[in-house]
Amino acid sequence: MTPRALDGCVKCGACLRECPVLRLEGGFPGPRRLAVEGPRFNRELASLRGPLEACTTCARCESSCPSRLPLTEAVARMRAAVPADSEGRRRMLAMVRSIGRTLAPEGCLDAPRDGRTLFFPGCVGEARTLASTQAAVDLLGRLDDVYVPEGWSCCGSPLERIGETKEAERLRATNAPLLDAAEQVVTACPGCAVQLRRAHRIEPLHVLEHLYEVVGPRRLHLRSPRPVRVALHSPCHLVRSIGPHAMDYARELLSSVEGLTVVDLDEDECCGGGGGVASARPDLALRLARRKTDAAARAGAELLLAPCPFCVVNLSRAGGIEIRDLVGFLASLSEDRS
């Protein structure tokens, strides 16, 4: 059935010109076909199953749409209507059902189990970028009363993105009592921040927001031991769903560090890590990541920073430049003056 929310399309094509996947793959139908024109069809829907897997849900289409259509939500709904039956999808579901996470944890986060500010690690934060997540927790532990609760589950975001709403609901129910009990919720993963806000009707903050607004930049005492040139990647879900102010904070924090130069990238697009593309279309995820790392290398940066564990993981696949989580990086520059 066609949702009324997508009635406003005027065929301007702005979404098509913004889509990073369409830029790389001429055969990709693009956001308008997948989210607006496609859902109106009936018997023909199954033919969109393959193309749907290539959408990273970066939401550039949505932000440039003059009719403000909820395009990424429509893609998720289409994915639920014509589910892909891939190995990656089945593996993720099996993992979620057995341990409540999409990935097996690399180790255990060393953090108090109780406190005032709940830190939500997220599956990728715990399983793939444990070191920088730990650094973020340590930093917050020093400057704030932070804790990581026992028994947290995946926030459900990856499952919603691919249309697995029932599983996502189950995870939501598991997390609800933990989150309800917290005074404030903070996470280093933009995907988690967006999902927790939507699913639990709380106001979680990304670590960047928490550091800037609650802790305060002055208390961070950021210092770089040597001059270094860094490039900054704007994670899609951070900029568009959490808000562009978070990247303003990131730029301000970095520019306050003496000896640290932030280079301008001529490339401002999705890293390719979102929307399940990394598992369904690893070739595409790699190509998207390479565009970013090439741009960073071209601009003479030594490091490419991203305030998002998903981005860090996918960009790292491309090689060619060192990738670090921005918050972990900031934690490493922060002097302990206590």
Partner 1 sequence: MRGNRPEVLVVGGGATGAGVARDLAMRGAQVMLVEAGDFAAGATGANHGMLHSGARYAVKDPASARECAAEGAVLRRIARFCIEDTGGLFVCAGKDDPAYLDRFLPACAAAGVEAKEISVEEARRLESCLASDIKAAVEVPDGSIDPFFLILGNVASAREHGAVVLNHRPLRRLRRKDGRFEAEVGSGRGRRAVRPEVVVNAAGAWAGEVASMVGASLPVCVDKGTMVVFNGRLVNRLVNRLRPPADGDILVPHRTSTILGTTSSRGSPHNVRATAAEVALLLDEAAAILPAIREARAVRAYAGVRPLLGTGAEGREASRTFQVVDHADEADGLISVVGGKLTTYRLMAEKAADAVMAKLGRGGACRTAAEEIMPYDGTPAQDLAAEAARLRHGARWHEIIGGQVSALGRQEGCGCEAVTCGELEGLAASPDVRDIGDLMRRSRAGMGYCQAGLCAMAMASALGQGRREVQAYYAERWKGVEPVLYGEQLRQEAFKSNLLRVYGIDHTAEGDR
Partner 2 sequence: MTLPAVEAEVLVVGGGIAGLTAAARLALYGRQVAVASSAVSATALSTGRLMLGDEPEAQEWGAFFLPQFRRLGAYYQSAGRPVTAFTNLGTPLKQSVVSPLFDWTAEDREVAVVGLAGRGDLDPDLACRELARSRRVRARPYWVSPSARLEDDRDAFLEELGTALKDLGEDAVVLPPLPSKEPYGLLADLRKRTGKRVLEPATPLSWPGRRLQALLEGTAAKLGVRMLSDRRLLSLHIEGRRAVKAILSSGARTQTARFSALVLATGALASGGLAVRGTEVIDPLGVLRVSAAPASGVASPALRAALSAGAVARRGRAVSATGETLANVVVAGSLHRGLSYPLGKGLGDVAVHAWKAARAVEEVL
Binding site for partner 2 (CB under 8 A): 10, 12-14, 17-18, 23-24, 26, 60, 63-68, 194, 197, 205, 209-210, 213-214, 239-246, 266
Among 29, 122, 149, 276, binds partner 1 (CB under 8 A): 29
Q: Which run of H or of E encompasses 205?
A: strand 205-206
Residue 24 contact among partner 2, partner 1, none, beta carbon within 5 to 8 Å by kind: partner 2
- 79/85 Cα distance (integer angstroms): 11
Asked if 33 touches partner 1 (CB under 8 A), the answer is: yes
Please report, in angstroms and rounded to a whole number, the separation of the first and last CA atoms in the chain. 59
H/E stretch holding 147: strand 146-147
Q: Given the complex with partner 2, which of 92 and 136 has the nearer CB atom?
A: 136
Which one of partner 2, partner 1, none interacts with residue 44, CB within 5 to 8 A by kind?
partner 1
Binding partner of 48, given partner 1, partner 2, none, CB within 5-8 angstroms per partner class: partner 1
- 24 vs 262, beta carbon nearer partner 2: 24
Q: Is 294 exposed, middle or buried (CB count within 10 Å of its CB: 0-12, 13-18, 19+)?
A: middle
Cα dist from 154 to 96, 194, 272, whole Å: 8, 13, 21
Instruction: Using the minimum distance from each CB to partner 2, give the nearer residue, 140 or 242.
Output: 242
Q: Is 17 in the site for partner 1 (CB under 8 A)?
A: no
Note whether 109 binds partner 1 by CB under 8 A: no
* Part of the chain binding partner 1 (CB under 8 A), chosen from 1-9, 109-117, 218-226, 321-329: 1-9
Contacts with 91 (C-beta within 8 Å, 6 or more apart), sequence order: 279
Count CB-CB contacts under 10 A for residue 82: 15
Helix residue ranges, H only, the chain: 14-18, 20-24, 31, 49-52, 60-64, 71-81, 87-99, 123-127, 130-143, 157-161, 165-180, 190-200, 207-209, 236, 244-255, 277-280, 282-298, 309-318, 326-333
Among residues 42 and 98, whose Cβ is nearest to partner 1?
42
Residue 1 interaction partner, one of partner 1, partner 2, none, beta carbon < 5-8 Å per kind: partner 1
- Which residues of the shown chain bind partner 1 in the complex (CB under 8 A)? 1-4, 6-12, 29, 32-33, 37-44, 46-48, 50-51, 67
